Amino acid sequence: MEPDNQIPQNPLAGTPNPATTAPVAPKGPVKTRPSDGVTLEEPVAPLPNNTETPIAPAAEPVPVAMPITPTAVTEAVPETVPEQTVPVKELTAEEKLEAARVAMEGPERSTERKRRELESRVKSESAELEEEKAKLDKQKEKLELAWIELDGKRGLLKKDLDPITDEETKIEEEEATAESEEGKAGLPAEQQTVEKRRQEIQARRKATEEKKWVIQDKIGKIDGLIGENTKQYQTLLDEEEKILTKMDELKRELI
Round to whole Å and give the CA distance between 125 and 246: 9
142 in a domain, yes or no?
Answer: yes
Q: What is the CATH number of the domain that holds 149?
A: 1.10.287.620
Query: What is the rounded average pLDDT for all residues in the chain?
Result: 77
What pLDDT, in 10s, does the model give residues 57-91?
Answer: 555 555 555 555 555 555 555 566 666 666 768 88
197 in a domain, yes or no?
Answer: yes
Helix (H) or strand (E) holding 16: none
The whole domain housing 193 covers: 93-253
**Could you give the angle at the alpha carbon of 55 between the alpha carbons of 49 and 60, nearest 5°?**
160
Q: Kindly tell me if the per-residue pLDDT of 146 is higher than 60.
A: yes
172 in a domain, yes or no?
Answer: yes
For every residue of 51-107, DSSP letters joined together read: SPPPPPPPPPPPPP----PPPPP--PPPPPPPPPPPPPPPPPHHHHHHHHHHHHH-H
Q: Which of 21-30, 77-86, 114-123 has the lowest mean pLDDT?
A: 21-30
- Distance of CA 17 to CAs 7, 20, 23, 115, 244, Å? 15, 5, 11, 126, 133
Total count of domains within the chain? 1
Q: For 154-159, what is the mean pLDDT?
A: 95
2 in a domain, yes or no?
Answer: no
Q: Kindly tell me if the per-residue pLDDT of 49 is higher than 90.
A: no
pLDDT of residue 35: 45
205 in a domain, yes or no?
Answer: yes
> Residue 140: which of 228, 222, 235 has the closest Cα?
235
What pLDDT, in 10s, does the model give residues 167-218?
Answer: 999 988 888 887 777 666 666 777 788 788 888 888 999 999 999 999 999 9
73 in a domain, yes or no?
Answer: no
162 in a domain, yes or no?
Answer: yes
